[in-house]
Structure 1
């Protein structure tokens, strides 16, 4: 079993947290559909809406963890298909390259990662009709099902972190990487209270994006340096 590269969880968390503007632009409509579909009495009371929002978002993160476990398992299989030391280095190198690309994306310097979003469109076309059947949301169970489906929406950030999950070479570590990513998205996508608004405003600032991008690039370079 390969050892997970240092900083990989923090990197995943930062991608989720500081990629918030991207998440809000892509998923704002889904958040709005959930909220507007609730009973007006629930929408007017944040305490009544809280269980729906929490269930929705926790189920979404559970979907990320499921995908992370699957991709981590794929990495474990790859380790068995070739000489262990060779494949270990390849996966570490892949993780480092993906971190660098993510940093360039977050900093606004290169959007190559956005190409990955188009690759997931085929899967989402099959899942989207299931999501429409769950609207309007009438109970937390529906919110949970919708949130779990939402985890599979085409998103360059999500898919890029999934590539990093492959590099862990472990079902558990792959799931934990995606849990860290999901935790980072919570402040922006929970959709209630001043915290989400403040996080969104901060993440819109160019210097914040660039600092985040440089941090993630640094993690990627460190991962590649470990190969030597």
Structure 2
């Protein structure tokens, strides 16, 4: 369920590229989109199983792809909202490769559960096992994307097309924001919330901190650790969601896990979930 919801949100915007306000009645295009998605995920799983983490995209590369995908979704949405005369089908250039290529491109817009599955494929050490893991994940999330594609194509032929376009623009902006957050290109708020304990005598910063991953973010979202010495961050999982994969210190980690950080200088260290939606801060002092 978590994989279905998060991936429909993160990747469903690319379905906007199949929406045609004039000739949006062909469900075969959605089928080709899903087939392209299955093929790209299966091939990626096999490659990850064969070569391991050497072929995994670093977080900042994924962040740039998220920003590009968000821009693409906004372009599709503007096209959907634009009114104009509908040309006969014979006058419209149609690319038979558009739907499967858009489906294949979803591998470049990973949700948090996708990253977890990629890690499973990497650790499998087998092309067959990696392909099976990724293919099984795609098959499980296909019904939600198929329903989303059907709804989008039906709506594109009604007066609700502009409403759908506005929603898609919002989704594109959200995707861009997630990419900027994942890449660390947004300003960091290092202000810790005040509490009664913060007004008492200061205590030495710890060398071990514990953070819980929930559906709504990381708790506590702001922790203090000791600077200049190795620190252990113990990530525990309270609720499964996109926060179950964290990007910290330039690497992806599937939770639960203990992350051992080398000595850090005084100041904040930022970490985010695999989708760039939720942020936490470790302030070294």
Tell me the TM-score normalised to structure 2 length. 0.40
Tell me the TM-score normalised to structure 1 length. 0.48
**Which is higher, the Rg of structure 1 or of structure 2?**
2
The structure carrying a bigger helix percent of its residues is: 1
The structure carrying a bigger strand percent of its residues is: 2
